[in-house]
Amino acid sequence: MSGQYDIVVMGAGHNGLVAACYLAKAGKKVLVLERQAFPGGGVVTREINTPGYHHDLHSSCHIMIQGNPMLTEDELGLKAKYGLNYRYSDVPYASIFPEGKTLITYKDLDKACAEIAKFNERDAETYRAFAKRSMAMLPMFASGLYSPPLPLGPAMAMFDSSEEGRLILDAMSRSSLDLVNQYFEGDHIKIHLLKLVTENLQLPDELGTGMGIFLMPGIIHQWGVSQPVGGSGGLTEALLRCLEDLGGEVRLNTEVAKVIVENGQARGLETTDGEGIRGRDGVVAALHPRVLSKFVEGIDPEVERKCQAVNPSAQSLFVSHYDLKERTKYTAGDEITSATMLEYFPYEDLGSLLDDFDYLRRKRISPRRLLGGGDETHGDPTRAPEGAGIFHSITMAPYCIEGKTAEFWDEYKEQYAAETLRQYDPFISNLGDDNIIAASHWSPLDMERSSPNSFVLGDMHGCAPYVYQTMGHRPTPDLGQYTVPGVEGLYLVGPFMHPGGGVYGAGRATAIRIFDDMDIDFERVVA
């Protein structure tokens, strides 16, 4: 074997880099191996079409990481020393309806309620009480997001010991649709909230997904919705500067073939060109449970059975990236350009939204897309040349279309993108050929190809957020503590682990688990 490292890490996604930075801060010599020519995984900003136009390939908004002590306490110095700079809009989230109607969720709760009151005054007061309760619950919920989870049984017992906890248990057992129907009257607010929580790649009527409705108002009004200045990859760039400063290394264009296991102990990583790289203290790997046995020999058959039973989210995403001569112009007016997250609805009734999600459930392409996306240059002009714009179109789509294999996307995606683009015309007036310089399109299959060991089956969130795949059971009860039974010294990291998909900075929890096993005082290291 070559090299003398304490820890070797497979995958330079943001979670792997976070774990690597904490380990390097503890004095460990760390090497990160990345198969792609660039680091970041799902947190990457690149010039993919035209020089000077900077697009987020996957994540754009960083929401859940805002409660992570990595940022709130700046444990790694990402903000103070390494240049991480988040931009927070006064408008975290907004929806556009026909004829220029808008429903804007301002970070300011009074202004958000005034917006809802335009449609239904009782819903505005209900939302106010709902958001206040959500903000009050957030500290209890957030306290367990960034550390190894409690086992599911004790966690459930803890929730059941208080009135607030029982509300959480109730929400965890229900669907988002059930909860919005229980609390609200008008279809506009129901559509607005349901589309927001389905950004977690869940269907609105799936049982066990109701927590989003309870938590998202608190998150929006307490933490806000943020984007790094210059693009999502600003987080990755800060992590790289931190890791390098702490003596860590990242090697790109290096694909891992397997985890080297000797006598039940993970000893290092072997690359596809046959190089073995030893990690004296252990291995950190971004390996989805469904691909774990491809890289690790000797997985217990029962552990493997549960790995293969892990369920992906109900839908994936299709994303198009457009370089524009001039920024987008919205028929609803300029106020909407402040929104960090923006949704588009050609209807005002809840039934139409549910019909569109039913297409996804059946793995069909709806003639009416579920539209999202926007032009980040309105809030961050550094993303494109002066006066120019970038537009990213986001639609929910099945990984496999009914009756087709996933490879069908390769022949269909140009047609799908062209049809989708025209559905923005009632909302955006300048998305014609005369304003578009260049474009590229990413299908659900392309998402999987970009990160085949994490975005399995096109699920950028790793696996579905069902109760049986949460907390200490995410992704399975066997793997829920970031370790692999029978393979000592192998630790897992990625969106399929607790706390879930999206930008959490969840590698912190993996690092804490490793520190515990090595008898390293985490609090002393980050003090």
Q: What is the DSSP string of 395-438?
A: EEE-SS-TTS-TTHHHHHHHHHHHHHHHTTTTTBS--STTTEEE
Q: What is the pLDDT of residue 172?
A: 87
423-447 residue pLDDT tens: 999 999 999 999 999 999 999 999 9
Order the strands of the 91-96 sheet from edge to edge.
102-105, 91-96, 339-344, 371-374, 389-397, 316-324, 436-442
- CA nearest to 485, candidates 260, 307, 270, 312: 307
> Residue 2 is which amino acid?
S
DSSP state letter for 471: G
Arithmetic mean of pLDDT, 361-370: 95
What is the 3-state secondary structure of 26-80? CCCCEEEECCCCCCECCCCEECCCCCCCCEECCCCCECHHHHCHHHHCCCCCCCC
Arithmetic mean of pLDDT, 10-21: 98
222-279 residue pLDDT tens: 998 999 999 999 999 999 999 999 999 999 999 999 999 999 999 999 999 999 999 9
Three-state SS at 330: strand
Question: Could you give the angle at the alpha carbon of 443 between the alpha carbons of 439 and 448, nearest 5°?
Answer: 125
Torsion over CA of 234, 240, 242 and 244, rounded to 10 degrees?
Answer: -150
Sort residue 298 into left (φ over 0), alpha (ψ -120 to 50) or beta.
Answer: left
Distance between CA atoms of residues 397 and 442, nearest Å: 11
Share of the chain above pLDDT 70, in %: 99
Q: What is the pLDDT of residue 209?
A: 83
Instruction: Collect all residues with Cβ–Cβ distance below 8 Å to 163 and sequence separation of at least 6.
Output: none
From the candidate CATH numbers 2.40.70, 3.90.660, 3.30.160, 3.90.1720, the one assigned to the domain spanning 87-227+312-450: 3.90.660
Q: What is the pLDDT of residue 248?
A: 98
DSSP state letter for 184: -
Distance between CA atoms of residues 64 and 61, nearest Å: 9
CA dist 523 to 75, 185, 516, Å? 10, 47, 11
Three-state SS at 177: helix
User: What are 494's two structure tokens?
Assistant: 């990625």
Its pTM stands at 0.96
The domains of the chain are located at 2-60+231-310+459-526, 87-227+312-450
Other CB atoms within 10 A of residue 490 CB: 26
Other CB atoms within 10 A of residue 411 CB: 9
Which of 155-159, 161-165, 334-338: highest mean pLDDT? 334-338
Query: Between residues 314 and 288, which one has the greater pLDDT?
Result: 288
320-358 residue pLDDT tens: 999 999 999 999 999 999 999 999 999 999 999 999 999
Residue 167: pLDDT band (50, 70, 90) is confident
Three-state SS at 331: coil
Q: What is the pLDDT of residue 3?
A: 63
Beta strand spans in 193-329 (E): 226-228, 249-251, 256-262, 265-271, 276-285, 316-324
Q: What is the pLDDT of residue 164?
A: 80
Contact of 206 with 175, CB cutoff 8 Å: yes
Beta strand spans in 101-228 (E): 102-105, 226-228
Residue 405: pLDDT band (50, 70, 90) is very high
380-397 residue pLDDT tens: 999 999 999 999 999 999
Q: Is the pLDDT of residue 142 over 90?
A: no
Least reliable range by pLDDT among 19-28, 149-158, 328-337, 362-371: 149-158
Q: Which CATH class is domain 2-60+231-310+459-526?
A: alpha beta
Beta strand spans in 117-246 (E): 226-228
Q: Is the pLDDT of residue 152 over 60?
A: yes
Chain centroid to CA 517: how far? 28
Arithmetic mean of pLDDT, 103-132: 97
Instruction: Collect all residues with Cβ–Cβ distance below 8 Å to 274 and sequence separation of at least 6.
Output: none
